[in-house]
Structures are given as C-alpha cells and as structure tokens.
Amino acid sequence: MENIYEFALPELTQRLAAHGFPAYRAVQVFGWLYKKRAEEFAKMRTLPPHLRRELADTFYCGLPECTLKRVSADKTEKYLFRLTDGRTVETVMIPEKKRRTLCVSSQVGCRFNCAFCASGASGFQRNLTVAEIVGQHLWAADHERPVTHIVYMGIGEPLDNFANVAGSISLLCEPKGLGFSPRKITVSTCGIIPRLPQLAEAFPKVKLSVSLHAATDDLRSRLMPVNRKYPLKNLMPALKTYTKTTGQPVTCEYALIGGLNTGIKQARSLAKLLGGIKHKVNLIPLHAARGNARPATEEETTAFTAELKKKNIFFTLRASRGPDIDAACGQLRAQARGGVRA
C-alpha cells in the first residue's frame, strides 16, 4: 500500500481514473485530506462507499508523529517528529507580529557537515518523503495557530532531496488542497549549483536562500566542505543567472562567527562578492554550535555591519530565536537520541 499524502492532485486523479472514478472524485479526496484534515477514509462522508473501500484497499494515511514540543521564552516553538522507522526530525515555529513562519526539515541528518551546524553531526541517514515534509506543516497548522510562511531551513539540504522537496511544494501550493502561495515559501541551499536551474524553472515564485557564511573560497571551504565541489567562483555566477531568470533577489545567509568571518576584511570581501547580483543579506547570530565556533561579540558585529553600510550592502540582522529550547537545527534531535549536544 502507498501513502496517499505522497500524491499530487494530477497523480491521484490518474490513479483513481485507472479504477474508473471521475476526476472530481480526486478533488473531493484532496478536500478531505487537506481542507477538512480527515486522516481516515471512512470519515470522508461525501464519497460513495465503494470509493472509500477502494481507497482503504489501495492507500493508507501516514503522517509523522509529534513526540515533543518546547516553547521558548520568546514564544518560538520547536517540535520533534518521529517517523515510521523511528528516526526523528525537527520543525520550528517562529511567531512574529504579522506572520508565523514554519521551518521544516527535508532530510534525516545531512551529508554536507558544515562546521557550525548540528544537523550534520550524526551524518546523513535518508531523505524525507513528500508526506513527511508536508506532514510537518499539517501537524503545525492543526495544533497551533495558522502558518503564514514556510521555510525549508530545518535539518538537511533541500536541493539534495530535490524530487521530494519539489513534490511537497506542489502539494502545499495546490489550490484544491492547502492553497499555499509560492511567494510565501523559501528554499534554502548550501549551494548545490546543478539544482538551481531546476528550481527556477519549476518554482520561479518561490524564494531562494543561500547559506553563504564566508566571502572567500578558502574560508568557506573550511566552514562548508560543499564549497570544495561548488566553489564561490562558480556559485556566484549561477546565482546571478538565477536572479535574472526569476526576477527575484537571492537571500544570502551569513552566520556571524566570532574571530572567523566578521572582520573588516571579510565585510569588504562580501561586498565585492555580491557585486552585480540582486540580493539581500541576512546576518544570523550564531547559536552555541559545533567545534570551536563561537558567536560574534557585540563589538565584532557592530564593526562588521558598519563596514557593510559603507559599502551600501543591504542587510538585516536577525534576532536570535529560541536559544533556551535549542532551536538551532539538529540540537533537540541530538539530545532526544542521547547524542552530543552541538
């Protein structure tokens, strides 16, 4: 049997058509799954009994189970989801005045092992399925206040799981289902260059965020091993092409790591690197993380941002959210399994 949450509406329509059911029945099923949140076919009362039996014989309704919830003093919420194989992933809800952003995971672990990130501490285990990704949103939307924005910035590298991430975006944006606006979805990447044209073609309105964190290949390769395969000299032209194709700026994520990437020289290098690319820079205060990485001091941050202003680089300085509940990617999962706190 197959998990019905894996199927986009066109695919489900084809499956039901093969059993002799008209297209409008698939639309009804979608409505029950994503608008009325029915998790049992027997509860889909507007469907004829023989269709409900056919659905029960062919599919099952399988979503991740939330086993732990933490709430920060700043109202950030973190959820630990258990998957059917016993593995776990994390999801974070970030409330603001006019929006509630859900940060979803796309993989169990991560193969890219960035020096400052807890997600890759235990290595890569597997990709999340479409149902496991969408399920994080369905649970949060059912048990908390409405979700207004979704960011693929949790555990894993979204573009390393492109097929399932793309499938989940299609499901989220299906007008007959959840009806989420693609303009309110952001996909983050460490810089998987070959996937950028595919993302631009499939979802030109979805926002792109790139984990940059350094402005030179030498430093970025130390922080992010992926840079050895996809160096800045190749990544930046690819981002320039992406912005021209989609007409949207790319957000460059830059974690402020004390003593490493927050000097005046690094600020100047960043300004030079971003020349000619439609961009925004998101400066991120570092949570306590792996290895010897430490958060930048207030003095380091002030000097770094002052130099960016001189160079006319538009940036925002993100407030640190949820440090008291280990809201950074991978921290809660590591504790829950008895791993090393990163």
Segment 122-149, tens digit of pLDDT: 789 999 999 999 999 999 998 877 899 9
Nearest to 320 by CA among 32, 136, 94: 94
Q: What is the pLDDT of residues 13-23, one digit of tens each?
A: 999 999 999 99
Q: Which pLDDT value is given to residue 321?
A: 63
pLDDT tens-digit profile of 15-59? 999 999 999 999 999 999 999 999 999 999 999 999 999 999 999
- Per the annotation, the verdict on 54 as an active-site residue is no
The single residue of 114, 173, 190, 329 carrying the catalytic annotation is 329
Predicted local confidence at residue 319, as pLDDT: 75
Q: What is the pLDDT of residue 341?
A: 25
Q: Given a cut of 80, is residue 220 above it in pLDDT?
A: yes
Q: List, as one string, the DSSP characters of 239-290.
A: HHHHHHHH--PEEEEEEEBTTTS-SHHHHHHHHHHTTTS-EEEEEEEPPS-S
- The predicted model gives 203-232 an average pLDDT of 97
Q: How far apart are the C-alpha atoms of 199 and 231, rounded to whole Å?
A: 19
Q: Going by DSSP bridges, is the β-strand pair 88-95/100-103 parallel, antiparallel, or unpaired?
A: antiparallel
pLDDT of 342: 23
Q: Which residues, in sequence order, are bridge partners of residue 10? A: none
SS3 89: strand
Which residues is 94 bridged to in the sheet? Answer: 101
How much of the chain, in percent, has pLDDT values that exceed 70? 92
Determine the Cα–Cα distance for residues 269 and 261; give it in Å rounded to an integer: 10
Mean of pLDDT values over 263-292: 89
Average pLDDT rounded to a whole number, residues 237-248 = 97
What does the H/E/C string look like for 132-200? HHHHHHHHHHHHCCCCCEEEECCCCCHHHHHHHHHHHHHHHHCCCCCCCCHHHEEEEECCCHHHHHHHH
Q: Is 125 helix (H, G, I), strand (E, B) or coil?
A: coil
Q: Residue 87's pLDDT is what?
A: 96
The reported pLDDT for the residue numbered 339 is 32
Catalytic residue among 6, 90, 157, 300: 90
Residues 6+ apart with CB under 8 A from 31: 176, 177
pLDDT, tens digit (0-9, with 9 covering 90-100), for 144-189: 778 999 999 999 999 999 999 999 999 999 999 999 999 999 999 9
Residue 263, pLDDT score: 96
What's the confidence (pLDDT) of residue 116? 83
At residue 312 the predicted structure's pLDDT band, cuts being 50, 70 and 90, is very high
Q: Which amino acid is at 326?
A: D
In the annotation, is 329 catalytic? yes
pLDDT tens, 93-106? 999 988 999 999 99
For 14, left (φ over 0), alpha (ψ -120 to 50), or beta? Answer: alpha
